[in-house]
């Protein structure tokens, strides 16, 4: 897994991040989702380095082998703003002042916050299977609550979810080693069997329902937008279209320098299930290749 890559620990904003990095050329930062680790990218990263990119894949704070800071009443240590700060410091420590960012699931929220808070650093933004947290919560209805109930279960504190998850992490998360790949599966499994990681992942969701939503609403109120080119990709086997219809229309008010995107035939974990199609879509976006759907028409 990740042949030719370096595995190391790097200091973030008061935390230590486990990171894989390798390749040469324009830098790309890949951010995983819940409950994965950076290993979710093990099929994508080599394709990108072969295409002439430097690839950096960290475990987000709280996840995998990265450190788990003590939380507070507002869950600020697990805000996407804090995670984005980690990523910026990481990339600069590796010598990358500007870079493309690709984020999946919870990593998409970190990637979006990185682009909003540090526009000078982010050359382009790609989000996979996500709309902004504030948009998701503002549009929340019975269908969303039924499908995404875990947001509210993981995010509440009166009856913490950690006790239930830690009773049988394998039954709760239900991953498939054949789909993930054996080494990636073992990396993920070590993470979900660590109670500190389970707690930190719940803190991620608690921040999402509070401080992260507030940050999105503050940005929306002052008209702050993503200033770099923005690509949105979603899995046909996920429920993005069922929930939002025209997925790009949700992102329209957040895009300040071009918005495009398309579905990818895959289940939710696109990097594991359709790595070739994902890399092709990324390269087309970065290089101005084949037409993709755009809000208001086609290119």
List the catalytic residues: 105, 268
Exposed / middle / buried, residue 255 (Cβ in 10 Å: 0-12, 13-18, 19+): buried
What secondary structure letter does DSSP report for 255? Answer: B
DSSP labels for 33-60? -TT--GGGGTTTHHHHHHTT-EEEEEPP
Q: Count the Cβ atoms, other than its own, within 10 Å of residue 117.
A: 17
Tokens at residue 40, please? Answer: 């979710």
**Sequence-ordered strand ranges (E) for the chain:** 6-11, 16-23, 27-31, 54-58, 99-104, 122-128, 230-235, 259-264, 293-294, 297-298
Reported as type and span, the H/E element at residue 154 is helix 150-155
The two three-digit tokens of residue 252, written as one number: 């329209």
The structure tokens listed for 202 are 């719940």
Tokens of 271: 């990097």
SS3 187: helix
CB–CB of 96/122 below 8 Å? Answer: no
Catalogue the E-assigned strands of 150-292.
Answer: 230-235, 259-264
Return all residues near 254 (Cβ < 8 A) that are at least 6 apart. Answer: 112, 132, 225, 226, 230
Tell me if 293 sits within 8 A of 280, measured CB to CB: no
């Amino acid at each position: 897994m990740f042949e030719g890559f370096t595995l190391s620990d790097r200091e973030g904003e008061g935390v230590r991040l486990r990171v894989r990095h390798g390749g040469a050329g324009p830098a790309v930062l890949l951010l995983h989702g819940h409950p994965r680790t950076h290993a979710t990218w093990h099929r994508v990263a080599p394709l990108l380095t072969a295409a002439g990119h430097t690839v950096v894949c960290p475990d987000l704070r709280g996840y995998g082998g990265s450190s788990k800071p003590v939380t507070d009443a507002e869950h600020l240590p697990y805000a996407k703003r804090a995670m984005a700060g980690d990523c910026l410091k990481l990339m600069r420590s590796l010598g990358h002042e500007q870079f493309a960012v690709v984020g999946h699931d919870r990593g998409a929220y970190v990637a979006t916050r990185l682009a909003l808070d540090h526009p000078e650093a982010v050359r382009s933004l790609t989000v996979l299977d996500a709309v902004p947290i504030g948009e998701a919560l503002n549009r929340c209805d019975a269908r969303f609550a039924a499908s995404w109930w875990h947001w509210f279960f993981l995010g509440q504190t009166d009856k913490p979810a950690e006790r239930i998850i830690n009773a049988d992490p394998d039954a709760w998360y239900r991953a498939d080693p054949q789909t993930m790949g054996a080494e990636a599966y073992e990396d993920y499994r070590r993470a979900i069997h660590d109670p500190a990681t389970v707690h930190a992942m719940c803190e991620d969701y608690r921040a999402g329902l509070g401080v992260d939503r507030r940050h999105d609403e503050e940005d929306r109120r002052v008209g702050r937008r993503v200033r770099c080119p923005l690509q949105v990709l979603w899995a046909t086997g996920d429920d993005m279209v069922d929930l939002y219809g025209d997925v790009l229309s949700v992102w329209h008010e957040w895009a300040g320098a071009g918005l495009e995107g398309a579905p990818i035939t895959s289940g939710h974990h696109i990097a594991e299930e359709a790595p070739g199609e994902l890399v092709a879509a990324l390269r087309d976006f970065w290089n101005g290749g084949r037409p993709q759907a755009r809000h208001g028409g086609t290119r």
